[in-house]
């Protein structure tokens, strides 16, 4: 009987794909934590990021490891459950004693683990573009802040090359990232002289699937004689039905371009893009970028995942940069001690697959290039515009009144992520 139960449990576990072989080698290993959802709603995006870190670890070990030791990835599954993120983070830091954690996707999961990392003085590398308004001493933000994605995208659409857009639909899923981003965008648009009646803001629930009314509303909002664009902060699962409805309603990119901040190569893989050619996305990296670093990155990914059809995307690139920077910082510090590594992180440079040298700043954010890509029929993006050099991230938006005077700078004399006065004065 007991044997039967054990057997059943083992089978269930195999079916559920739960066991992640953490091949623990006793003794000299350095552990890094991977905190990405492998089940639940966010698994769709986060599983790939787990694989990216495993790929980087694998590569590092092949090249002799770190400080003469093997590196071992400890993979946990917080199952798209925000409180569980905090629990798993605590386990990683206090039980597994990992040197750094690579993880989180949604802002709410990051907010959930933040107190744990601050309490236990851990290091989190967060790879996703987000709404800004944060700078913790225990987090390195390797994705874009709003001024590295949302604002340049809107500026591009306003320019002659982008179509001189005059009227704006801000379309988002109803949670913290779209709401904050749209607040910043609204303030920015108004500062550029766009009248309030030319801005339409709309929110829909998570996983929203019936876009008929909203697409019809966008169409009629756009028929007011001014060039109109849609700025989409629609999250993951709701995008496919949105784009399908757009395509079928005959909205072409040359009439009403849609620029998205959460749609990358991975998301497009689930959509038939023939009728979406020309709609836009703003990121800091596209798979279609041509340079030797990117070619090597893509080859490495295909070799590791053993499927030449899998795509790369921006958050993967962010993890690539974050992981490289961390290994460089550990080597420089000669230890995995968090405080030493953190100091060594500032000013770390990595030649990124985006083709630019990206630098970690003392506000814990990167300087990144901004690229605008148009969707092609093969599910890839064509870069139609990019910044000349990497742009430094603003943790606090200059367009929001409540952020006035706030500075994020963890070097002397500020040593603070959210201050209007330096910590040390003399």
| 3-state class (DSSP) for residue 155 | helix
Neighbours of 230 (CB within 10 A): 28
Least separation in angstroms between residue 238's CB and another protein is 9
Buried b (16+ CB within 10 A) or exposed e, 129-167: bbbbbbbbbbbbbbbbbbbbbbbbbbebbbeeebbebbb
Least spacing, CB of residue 71 vs another protein, in Å: 25
43 or 199, CB closer to another protein?
43
Helix and strand numbers (H, E) in the chain are 12, 18
Q: Within 10 Å of residue 236's Cβ, how many Cβ atoms?
A: 20
CB of 127 to another protein, least distance (A): 17
Least Å distance, CB 88 to another protein, is 18
CB-nearer residue toward another protein: 160 or 193: 160
User: What are the Cα distances from residue 423, in Å, to 136, 266, 343, 411, 416?
Assistant: 15, 43, 17, 10, 7
Which residue's CB is nearer to another protein, number 134 or number 214? 214
Q: Among residues 250 and 405, whose Cβ is nearest to another protein?
A: 250
Which residue lies nearer to another protein by CB, 24 or 249?
249
CB nearer to another protein: give 254 or 426: 254
CB of 261 to another protein, least distance (A): 17
CA-nearest of 231, 288, 290 to 262 is: 231
Q: Is 363 exposed, middle or buried (CB count within 10 Å of its CB: 0-12, 13-18, 19+)? A: buried
The least CB distance from residue 318 to another protein, in Å, is 18
- Sequence-ordered list of residues with C-beta below 8 angstroms from that of 246, at least 6 positions apart, any chain: 211, 215, 258, 276, 279
Q: Could you tell me if residue 27 is left (phi over 0), alpha (psi between -120 and 50 degrees) or otherwise beta?
A: left
Q: Which of 405, 397, 205 is nearest to 416 (CA)?
A: 405
Report the nearest approach of another protein to the CB of residue 2 (Å).
21
CA distances from 282 to 301, 336, 371 (A): 22, 35, 6
Closer CB to another protein, 196 or 250, in the complex: 250
Please identify, using beta-carbon distances, which residue of 212 and 411 lies nearer to another protein: 212
Cβ 239 to another protein, closest distance in Å? Answer: 8
Beta bridge partners of 70: 29
Nearer to another protein, 18 or 22 (CB): 18
Q: Which CA distances in Å does 118 have to 33, 83, 123, 137, 381?
A: 16, 16, 9, 8, 38
* Binding interface with another protein (CB under 8 A): 12, 15-18, 38-41, 43-45, 47-48, 160-163, 174, 202-205, 207-210, 212-214, 216-217, 219-220, 223-225, 237, 240-241, 244-245, 247-250, 252-255, 257, 266-267, 269-272, 274-275, 277-278, 280, 374, 376-377, 382, 384-385
User: Least Å distance between CB 19 and another protein?
Assistant: 12
């Amino acid at each position: 009987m007991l044997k039967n139960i054990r057997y059943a449990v083992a089978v269930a576990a195999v079916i559920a794909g739960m066991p992640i072989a953490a091949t623990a080698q006793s003794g000299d290993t350095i552990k890094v934590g991977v905190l990405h959802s492998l089940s639940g709603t966010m698994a769709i995006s986060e599983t790939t990021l787990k694989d990216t870190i495993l790929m980087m670890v694998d590569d590092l070990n092949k090249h002799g490891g770190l400080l003469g030791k093997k590196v071992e990835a400890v993979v946990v599954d917080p199952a798209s459950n925000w409180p569980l993120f905090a629990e798993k983070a605590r386990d990683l830091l206090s039980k597994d004693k990992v040197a750094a954690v690579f993880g989180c996707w949604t802002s709410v999961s990051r907010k959930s683990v933040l107190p744990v990392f601050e309490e236990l003085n851990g290091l989190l590398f967060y790879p996703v573009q987000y709404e800004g308004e944060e700078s913790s001493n225990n987090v390195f933000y390797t994705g874009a802040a709003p001024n590295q994605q949302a604002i340049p995208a809107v500026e591009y659409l306003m320019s002659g090359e982008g179509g001189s857009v005059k009227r704006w639909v801000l379309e988002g899923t109803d949670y913290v990232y779209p709401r904050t981003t749209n607040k910043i965008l609204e303030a920015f648009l108004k500062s550029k002289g766009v009248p309030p009646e030319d801005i339409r803001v709309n929110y829909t629930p998570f996983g929203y699937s019936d876009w008929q009314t909203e697409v019809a509303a966008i169409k009629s909002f756009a028929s007011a004689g001014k060039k109109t664009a849609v700025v989409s902060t629609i999250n993951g699962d709701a995008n496919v039905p949105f784009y399908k409805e757009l395509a079928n309603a005959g909205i072409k990119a040359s009439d009403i371009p849609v620029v998205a901040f959460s749609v990358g190569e991975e998301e497009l893989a689930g959509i038939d893009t023939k009728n979406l050619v020309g709609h836009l996305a703003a990121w800091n990296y596209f798979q279609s970028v041509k340079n030797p670093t990117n070619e090597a990155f893509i080859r490495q990914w295909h070799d590791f995942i053993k499927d030449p059809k899998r795509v790369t995307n921006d958050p993967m690139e962010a993890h690539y940069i974050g992981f490289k920077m961390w290994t460089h910082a550990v080597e420089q510090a000669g230890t995995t001690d968090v405080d030493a590594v953190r100091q060594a992180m500032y000013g770390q440079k990595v030649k990124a697959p985006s083709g630019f040298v990206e630098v970690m700043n003392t506000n814990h954010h990167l300087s990144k290039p901004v690229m605008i890509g148009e969707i092609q029929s093969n599910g890839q993006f064509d870069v139609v515009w990019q910044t000349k050099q990497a742009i430094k991230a603003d943790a606090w938006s200059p367009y929001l009144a409540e952020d006035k005077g706030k500075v994020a700078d963890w070097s002397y004399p500020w040593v603070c992520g959210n201050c209007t006065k330096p910590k040390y004065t003399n």
